[in-house]
Chain A
Amino acid sequence: MSGLAFDLAHLFAGLMVLVCFLMLYQDRLYSLLNTFALHAFVLALAVAWQAYIQDAPQLYVTATIALVFKAIVIPVALHRLIRRMDLHREVETVGGIGRTMLVGMALVALSISVMLPVTAAAGTLAREDLAFALSVVLLGLLMMITRRNAVSQVVGFMSLENGLILAATGAKGMPLVVEISVAFSILIAFIVIGIFLFRIRERFDTVDVGALDTFRGDLR
């Protein structure tokens, strides 16, 4: 039983890393959002599985938040946002997708080589989960750096945050995980609502951060 428990936990965590790579090579915003929904769905599975094997019912709340909020509500809201504001549908990248993928692989290697020796003392479950989680976090960061539109930066941030939730649920018995995942959801809701409410569109011609680089407060 315990063998199966570990295997499945690793499978889900590994899947999350894989989906991160899928996100890295999306070049259309819609398909990026769909891939993100998949990412959140895998997170929900991983968290639910952790809740089951750790016998920690409160984690089911986190899993539900991941499923309902991140896999359904946010992608749908962003879809509508893109349509309503008539944004550019392409994902503009800095420095080519191939190169980004290579950097991504290097980051995964880095996080595994950093985490495995350090967490040798922690249980096997926590150890490998953390290595995967750190990979997801770093890949999310990479995505935020290499994307130019605001929407894909938000998606990058959300995938980074998925990695954090994965790490938090993998740390056995960590308190406040539910509260932290709620806090994160509020943060994300804030920004999505923020884009709606403040009608960034009306000020910026695109929600493309590159287009804003003209502003250099000091030097005018």
Chain B
Amino acid sequence: MSLGGCALAAVLVTPLVSAALLALLSGYRTTSRLNVLASGLSFAAALVLIARRPLPNDFLFVDDLNVVFIVLNTFVGFTTSIFSASYIRHELETGRLQRSYLRFYHAMYQVMLFGMSLALAAQNVGLMWVAVELATLTTVVMVGIYRTHEALEAAWKYFILGSVGIALALFGTILVYLAAQAVVGEGLPAMSWLILVENAQKFDPALLNLAFVFLMLGYGTKVGLAPLHAWLPDAHAEGPTPISAVLSGLLLNVALYAVLRFKVVMAKNPAAIAPGPLLITLGLGSLLFAAFMLYRRRDIKRLFAYSSIEHMGIIAFAFGMGGPLANFAGLLHMTMHSLTKSAIFFAVGHVAQAKGTQKFADMGGLTVTHPALGWGLVVGVIAIAGVPPMGVFMSEFLVVTSTFSRQPLLAIPLVSGLLLAFGALVLRLQHAVFGAPVGQNHKVEASYAPMLIHLALVLVAGIALPPAIVAWFQNVSRALG
């Protein structure tokens, strides 16, 4: 096996093996360290993939597009595991998480990372579907892990809506297979990305159109696009915060990646409907809806959950516009949003522990009582709201300029959505971090490193994006059509 093949195998096998180990071992120290170690190993293996690619086979492949997400996923998985170690320790000490669930939590964390990497590296649409389902299931269980009334309800809602979404996506997948089967014949090739893209122009356009509607609704539910977003805020708010971080930062991206892949197939067929307008409508809808909803949030994790809906809307909009510049902006925004949003959740997790609540009403003066967390949160929110010089500003700026140059009318709702969201975030932030301290203050031993690394990366990307990355993303955006 080539070096690339070994690396891909390592990305997939490491989480599986460690999940099995973590399910057997007990004790906080060993398991949380093993969790960090395993996530770190996967990340290291993913880095190798940038330089060395394995040859594609029937089930797995690595290309310019998915390697970006595999590296991003394993990286955020790694930093989140560091955050999770300190977060979970506090939850165990306060008794919010029962000790007996610790094993389960860590094993599920690794299975989830495995599911997401598999979905990204899948060359077969059916395999990708199975992997997305696996990742969804593990997150459902994790959301319900506190076993409170609210957590169970959130998990149930997520489960029902998520499974309906995933079921619709499967129906779409079957239709894509039918369209392909007529051209390339029965069997595995008719489900492989490379062959689908290659032969897409010969597919029956009517069948493809119908398939895309189902896929868009199905995976769109997982992306959290309005009006299919109902599960998202609850799932983010009631689960452990490390899970909120990976949900927002990674799982939404994985679902969007699936949509992107199918969009490329659609774009190759001139007779099929253009996927752009559908994505633009859903994207703008989500952006505006979430921007208004941000104003009514009383719960800090819900606030940032709605902010994720908003950003997924922006990304869907950018890819809907299409063309090299907008696709570039979309890709960049996906990356920046992942890094920033998970950094925010790292801060929010410890803030909620320090304050003993997630309600804004009982929060205040964080910069006075917990300077590192408070200022970390300030920087994170400034970044996510799109203030220069952070990376999110740059990608949003690119989305807006490309809209102005091509569809000036669409820029009006886009910019108003961005401004509305900006206002809401600043308003909420101001209450929570400045002013006189409000509420209780517990001591937390926070791990600041993951948050600082993420924010530093976002800052660097905003000031000077390395030319190598620019060239890489440009290359990918051209392929996205």
Contact = CB atoms under 8 A, between A and B. Distances in A.
Interface of A: 114-115, 117-119, 121-122, 126, 130, 133-134, 137, 141, 144, 150, 153, 157, 160-161, 164, 167-168, 171-176, 179-180, 183, 186-187, 190-191, 194, 198, 200, 203-204, 209, 212, 215, 217-220
Contacts of B191: 174-176
Contact of B130 (A144, A164, A183, A194): A183
A119 B210 CA distance: 10
Nearest to B58: A175
26 contacts: A118-B206, A118-B207, A118-B209, A122-B207, A130-B174, A133-B171, A157-B160, A160-B164, A164-B170, A168-B170, A168-B174, A171-B174, A174-B126, A174-B181, A174-B191, A175-B126, A183-B133, A194-B144, A200-B156, A203-B147, A203-B149, A215-B153, A217-B234, A217-B299, A217-B302, A218-B299
A164 B174 contact: yes
A10 B124 CA distance: 30
Contact of A164 (B141, B167, B233): B167
A187 B137 contact: yes
A167 B174 contact: yes
Contact of A204 (B152, B204, B233, B298): B152
Interface size range of chain B in the complex: 35 or more
A126 B175 CA distance: 10
Given A157-B160, A183-B133, A209-B156, A121 B204 contact: yes
Interface in B287-317: 296-299, 302
Contacts of B159: 191
5 pairs of A and B residues whose beta carbons are closest in the complex:
A173-B186, A176-B126, A118-B206, A183-B130, A175-B188
Contacts of A119: 178, 207
Contact of B152 (A172, A179, A186, A203): A203
B114 interface: no
Given A121-B204, A175-B191, A187-B163, A137 B149 contact: no
B480 interface: no
Nearest to A119: B207
Tell me the interface secondary structure of chain B in the complex.
helix
Nearest to B211: A118
Contacts of A160: 164, 167
Contact of B141 (A161, A175, A194): A194
Contacts of A200: 152, 156
A194 B104 CA distance: 13
Interface in B128-145: 129-130, 133-134, 137, 141, 144
Contacts of A171: 174, 177-178, 181
B187 interface: yes
| Best-surrounded residue of B156, B207, B233 (most CB of chain A within 10 A) | B156
A203 B175 CA distance: 41
B152 A198 contact: yes
Given A118-B206, A204-B153, 8 more contacts: A115-B210, A171-B177, A171-B181, A173-B190, A174-B186, A176-B127, A194-B141, A217-B237
Given A126-B178, A200-B152, A215-B153, A134 B163 contact: no
B174 A174 contact: yes
B186 A180 contact: no
A172 to B, nearest CB: 6
A176 B394 CA distance: 42
Interface string B188-208: 101100000000000010110
Contacts of B410: none
Contacts of B238: 217
A209 B149 CA distance: 12
A144 B164 contact: yes
| Best-surrounded residue of A164, A204, A209 (most CB of chain B within 10 A) | A164
B182 interface: yes
Contacts of B168: 137
Contacts of B299: 217-218
B164 A122 contact: no
A162 B133 CA distance: 17
B178 A122 contact: yes
A119 B188 CA distance: 21
B150 interface: yes
Nearest to B303: A218
B16 to A, nearest CB: 15
A150 B134 CA distance: 22
A217 B296 CA distance: 12
Contact of B298 (A133, A175, A194, A219): A219
A115 to B, nearest CB: 8
Contacts of A164: 167, 170-171, 174
B30 to A, nearest CB: 25
Given A150-B156, A218-B296, A118 B210 contact: yes
Contacts of A187: 133, 137, 163
A176 B124 contact: yes
B15 to A, nearest CB: 18
A167 B171 contact: yes
Contacts of A126: 178
Contacts of A212: 149, 153, 156
A179 B126 contact: yes
Contact of B137 (A114, A130, A190): A190
A193 to B, nearest CB: 10
A205 B479 CA distance: 54
Contacts of B170: 164, 168, 180
Nearest to A161: B167
Contact of A180 (B126, B187, B234, B302): B126
A117 B144 CA distance: 44
A121 B182 contact: yes
